[in-house]
Structure 1
Amino acid sequence: MRNVSLDDVDHLPVDVLPIGTDYPPGYLLPRHSHRRAQLLYGASGTMLVETDDGSWTVPTDRAVLIPPGTAHEVHMLSVSTWSLYIEPDAVPWWPARCTVVDIGPLLRELLRAANELPADYDVDGRDGAVTRLALYELRRLSPLPTAISLPRNEPYRSLCRAYLAAPDVSVTNDDWARTAATSTRSLDRHFRAETGSSPAAWRAKARLLAGLPLLQTMTVTQVAAHLGYASPAAFTAAFTRTFHTPPSAFTRGG
């Protein structure tokens, strides 16, 4: 199924509803939730998923597992998605928090095939076998560390959301403290309590996350310069240390 509303088919008596959707560039999918678990795969573009407690960057050819009932919004950067909406009872092992995962070649083709199925697909025939094998493969996925915690309280949450939208290497703790009308010591204490990270370390990871969509259209050298790194080597080292894989793995065709 393509470009079909989940509400129109959620009543169907199947464990897995595959729905593919095409979004215009920069589209913001407003905050919502659904009773089914969702695998949200980006066949193209990059997705930025936000919940109350975090933000997840989902590069091309990766997916995010969204728990049932979790309120979330998604910023679509030139994205075409392949989703599986799954009855919770069919995936009792589903993570309790959003998780970005790497998608291997077999599961990618299964998702492609599933999203071409009609709404009334034959669950006992070849179509049902495709969805069942997809569920089996889901249990073998490897998580990717492309999440970052978000404070729940203001003004810290707004500071973080603004930085994620426009990361700037020149921003300092003093800048944030002035904006928050507090001391740098108080900023650091409250920020660590809410995110488990220092403000400076949080901003460093946020800058690297901002590089993920850029790698689809820019070279590693260009992304390094754009994000304020002294050299491509410095960017590559920081990126690899954080995400356990080099930036070349996220370039177009990488």
Structure 2
Amino acid sequence: MVVLSATVLPAWAQEPEVPACLRVDYPQPTVPEFGHTEALSYSTQETQCWVDVVEARRAGGMALDVREAAVAPLPGAVALPLPSVADRRYLRDQPLTLVGTGVDLRALTTACLTLRKQGFSKVQVLLGGARSWARIQSVDMVTPQEAWLGALDGQWRLIGIGLRPEQVQSLVGKPEVNLPSSVDDAALVQALNDAELARPLGSHQQWLLITQNQASGQSLLARLQQAPYKPGARALAWLSGGWDSYNAYLQQQQQSAAHAGRPLPRSCGS
């Protein structure tokens, strides 16, 4: 899935007095109805917040793991809840890279712009999030939840393998290519190349390949590893468990949607 000659006061001297607590609970994007949805577009100002893992590691600075439910801290990153970043005024002049889940691009981009207005001029958002930061292999496996959330932020371009029309309709995004399950390696690679030639990937986008189920996905992956598709520096992402896994997640979400509530806002001392 990609920097006058005058006396100028420093940024901190020009800013109005700020409140003691700077924590912000960044709103999550509104979740649409299940099924197809239009991919979000981003302004030039928003895309200027983004950095890929190669650029982030080259630039150095501090990586902040801002995931709310991090299973384990990322190597080389500092765990810090996103709403608490603004409180750390001593970080204002440091290069900061916000590392999220990889499918929270809209929320982190909003946070980046807000932090920049507060004086954190060197803050950026890592494209691909924790998966990109910690990836040690070319196969990028994506959970059904990551597939769904990432689609809402316009991060995936979908490739279906052997999906039936009704299965395609259940996906948040519409596959640009839907090939038969019997497709050979050469035809798949050619289809991916043709699709990317017709409409190049955005800097925040990645191809997400969706098979029927876990078995068909493993079979195809084994064949492709002999002649892997390499879209630049970005690995081809695979939906773990295929459509079967995604459909189970979708049904679970539909059942709980009617009972969903809004979380209470967090106070600055929490």
**Normalising TM by the smaller chain, what interval?**
under 0.3
Using the size of structure 1 for normalisation, the TM-score is 0.27
Using the size of structure 2 for normalisation, the TM-score is 0.26
Larger radius of gyration: 2
More strand by share: 1
Higher relative contact order, chain-length normalized (CA < 8 Å, sep 6+): 2
